[in-house]
């Protein structure tokens, strides 16, 4: 199936309130343009250098999402254009994003990455740290916390994955009750997006299901 057909069938499969980020990391401009010509405008990358090169080379109405781990010293390269940073996992990084956003006269939208996987290899805030980060963000004028992002454990155990997503949805709902203006819950990838949507995700990050396997 072509990339265009895969996008179309994926969009038919997911509810309308769920937004699709096409994860184009390691993929060529040609592949991205095929998705673009099928109507896709939101793309996700996990390396700032790659994303910046693609942003320069490709149509300017693409919204670029940074979905990977971000090193503070590289924020400056994406600050002029990045549409959403999913992987904010420290106060230091949040402050740096604020500083670079200010330099560019922008307000940069961010998601706080929450550690939901039982594995300890993944980045992210705990639930308590997340409350703190949201508090601190209210003092930063050029970042806006738009929601939460999480990655489930790398396992075949569907029940475990669902429970991890459900935990993140619970935290998200609690924060909304406390008057934070959150609207995005980013969870779900090629292997687990149906489970994530069932648990309340409204933004999924799908790569290989659209572009095929990645060869690094
Ligand atoms: C690579 C990546 C994805 C997409 O993974 P697929 O399994 O190819 O859909 C989603 N989210 C993050 C954070 C990623 O790094």
Q: Which domains does the chain have, with CATH numbers?
A: 3-211 (3.20.20.10)
Q: What mean pLDDT do residues 10-33 have?
A: 97
Q: Which helix (H) or strand (E) holds 119?
A: none
| pLDDT tens-digit map of 138-151 | 999 999 999 999 99
pLDDT of residue 64 exceeding 70, the answer is yes
Q: Is 26 in the pocket of ligand 1 (CB under 6 A)?
A: no
Q: Is 149 in the pocket of ligand 1 (CB under 6 A)?
A: no
pLDDT at 145: 97
Ligand 1 atom with the shortest distance to the CA of 211 = 8
pLDDT at 123: 83
Q: How confident is the model at residue 7 (pLDDT cuts 50, 70, 90)?
A: very high
Q: What is the Å distance from ligand 1's center to 105 Cα?
A: 30
| pLDDT tens-digit map of 169-214 | 999 999 999 978 899 999 999 999 999 999 999 999 999 999 999 8
pLDDT of residue 117 exceeding 90, the answer is no
Backbone angles phi, psi at 102, to 5 degrees: -60, -45
Q: Put residue 102 in one of left, alpha, beta given phi > 0 → left and psi -120 to 50 → alpha.
A: alpha
Percentage of the residues of the chain whose pLDDT score is greater than 70: 98
Q: What mean pLDDT do residues 157-164 have?
A: 96
Q: Is 208 in the pocket of ligand 1 (CB under 6 A)?
A: yes
Q: Whose alpha carbon is nearest atom 12 of ligand 1?
A: 67
- Tokens 């490709």 correspond to 58
Please name which of 153, 129, 133, 159 lies closest in space to residue 144, comparing C-alpha atoms. Answer: 133
Q: Is 191 in the pocket of ligand 1 (CB under 6 A)?
A: yes
pTM of the model: 0.96
Q: Is 200 in the pocket of ligand 1 (CB under 6 A)?
A: no
Q: Which helix (H) or strand (E) holds 25?
A: none
Q: How confident is the model at residue 119 (pLDDT cuts 50, 70, 90)?
A: confident
Percentage of the residues of the chain whose pLDDT score is greater than 90: 93
Q: Is 46 in the pocket of ligand 1 (CB under 6 A)?
A: yes
Q: How confident is the model at residue 122 (pLDDT cuts 50, 70, 90)?
A: low
Ligand 1 atom with the shortest distance to the CA of 206 = 9
Q: Is 150 in the pocket of ligand 1 (CB under 6 A)?
A: no
pLDDT at 216: 67
Q: What is the Å distance from ligand 1's center to 51 Cα?
A: 15
pLDDT at 121: 62
pLDDT at 30: 98
Q: What is the Å distance from ligand 1's center to 141 Cα?
A: 30
Q: Whose alpha carbon is nearest atom 15 of ligand 1?
A: 68
Axis-axis angle for helices 29-37, 48-57 (nearest 10): 60
Please, what is the average pLDDT of the chain?
96
């Amino acid at each position: 199936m072509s990339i265009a057909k895969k996008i179309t069938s994926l969009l038919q499969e997911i509810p309308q309130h769920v937004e699709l980020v096409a994860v184009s990391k390691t993929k060529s401009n040609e592949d991205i343009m095929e998705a673009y010509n099928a109507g896709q405008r939101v793309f996700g990358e996990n390396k700032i250098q790659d994303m910046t090169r693609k942003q320069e080379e490709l149509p300017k109405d693409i919204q670029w999402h940074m979905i990977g781990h971000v090193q503070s010293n590289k924020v400056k390269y994406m600050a002029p254009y990045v549409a959403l940073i999913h992987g904010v996992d420290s106060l230091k990084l949040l402050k740096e994003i604020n500083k670079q956003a200010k330099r560019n006269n922008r307000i940069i939208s961010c998601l706080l990455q929450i550690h939901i996987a039982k594995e300890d290899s993944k980045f992210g805030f705990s639930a308590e740290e997340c409350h703190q980060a949201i508090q601190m963000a209210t003092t930063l004028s050029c970042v806006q916390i738009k929601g939460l992002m999480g990655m489930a454990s790398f396992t075949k155990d569907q029940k475990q994955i669902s429970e991890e997503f459900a935990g993140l949805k619970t935290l998200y709902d609690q924060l909304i009750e406390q008057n934070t203006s959150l609207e995005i819950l980013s969870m779900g990838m090629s292997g687990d997006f149906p489970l994530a949507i069932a648990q309340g995700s409204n933004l999924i990050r799908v790569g290989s299901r659209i572009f095929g396997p990645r060869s690094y």
